[in-house]
Amino acid sequence: MTQPADHLQDGRRRLGYSELFVSPIGLGTWPIAGMTSLNVNDDDSLATIEQAIECGINLIDTAHCYGLHGESEMLIGKSIKGLRERLVVTSKGGIHWDTQAVRHLDARPATIISECETSLRRMEIETIDLFYLHAPDPDVPVTESATAFARLMKSGKIRATGASNLNVEQLTQFHCVCPITAVQPPYNMLQRDIENDIVPWCLKHNVSIINYWPLMKGLLAGKIRRGHSFDPNDKRLTYDVFQGEKFESAQRLLDELDAIAKSLGKSVAQIVVNWTFNQPGIASTLCGAKRNWQIRETAGAMGWNLDDASRSRIVALLNQFQLHQGPFGRRSDRAREPR
């Protein structure tokens, strides 16, 4: 979807009714937290953030729980000194780890405010541009959680409010208490459920979508192919799309995307990401990376658009694969990672 003229600024998209403008690609910093990504180190992580900024990415996304001790936010704090005014920094509250590395949902207002203040200290900044409720807490009504965001907005500690991993009913309830600027759901070529409900809701209310998992944990980057040898500790093995017939079906899709990418002189990852951030309602798509070359490649998805023939071919392919395979990307243990 082409953004209206008043929603564009030097190729960047306006978030909702705010004065925040973001690049079509944002850097997702879950990988540098070292929680599930293998072989993470500070030097490469800092180089990745620096590379993202050099490539024209101005949206840096993190969360209070990205790292047992906030490693992601602290690395961001080191990277953005002297660059703060050029960037849109987003974070999330409502999830934390205990001393045994067990994840807890806690969206009580006092917790949300405390985690926001901790995030500000870690990143050594005065204001978080966009602060999300990371996930709904089954023990706390979302309307109650929303009161904390209204207070944070009034105090100037955040500039805009977001919600991640909420359904439409929860979004509506939250939005009535504290207006939402952006939502953050999973969305990619293989996971398109939000097109049925969240996207129409966002378009109706002028709420922007900043999606995560555009490359489906690396699968749609085109480099994990048939015969790939996974590390036994690789958490991706818990997802059905990396197993059996669904993995083979995804490989057949990648075979077709290979041909499209070759015809356009782009990589598969660039084709996939460009398609994603040009879908209705999407303001920016978060690309995770732990190495500078990874974000440099995906940043190459900006500055051009797929031609009509390629878009039509992709739509036909996705409809065909969705028809035969159903939903992709479910975890075999039904657990959910914080993202």
The ranges assigned to domains in the chain are 5-218+267-305
| CA 117 from centre of chain | 22
Question: Could you give the strand order of the β-sheet that contains 21-22, starting from the edge strand earlier in sequence?
Answer: 8-9, 12-14, 21-22
**305 and 24 Cβ atoms separated by less than 8 Å:** no
Nearest one of 53, 152, 42, 133 to 91, comparing CA atoms: 133
220/226 Cα distance (integer angstroms) = 13
> What residues are labeled active site?
66
Task: Specify the pLDDT at position 290.
Answer: 95
Task: Specify the pLDDT at position 17.
Answer: 97
Share of the chain above pLDDT 90, in %: 83
pLDDT tens digit sequence for 226-241:
999 988 888 888 888 8
Q: Are strands 88-93 and 128-133 parallel, antiparallel or unpaired?
A: parallel
Query: How many residues make up the chain in this entry?
Result: 339
Task: Specify the pLDDT at position 264.
Answer: 97
pLDDT tens digit sequence for 19-56:
999 999 999 999 999 888 889 999 999 999 999 999 99
Q: What token pair was written down for 258?
A: 């290979």
CA angle, 12 as apex, 10 and 15 as ends, to 5°? 140
Write the CATH number of the domain with boundaries 5-218+267-305: 3.20.20.100
Task: Specify the pLDDT at position 5.
Answer: 47
Task: Specify the pLDDT at position 234.
Answer: 85
Q: What token pair was written down for 172?
A: 């509506």
Q: Output Rg (C-alpha) for the chain, integer angstroms.
A: 19
Q: Global pTM?
A: 0.92
Task: Specify the pLDDT at position 105.
Answer: 98
Q: Which residues, 6 or more positions from 71, have their beta carbon under 8 angstroms from its beta carbon?
A: 32, 33, 34
Task: Specify the pLDDT at position 44.
Answer: 97
Task: Specify the pLDDT at position 335.
Answer: 40
Task: Specify the pLDDT at position 188.
Answer: 96
Nearest one of 255, 219, 259 to 236, comparing CA atoms: 219
Which residue stretches of the chain have pLDDT < 50? 1-2, 5, 332-336, 338
Task: Specify the pLDDT at position 2.
Answer: 46
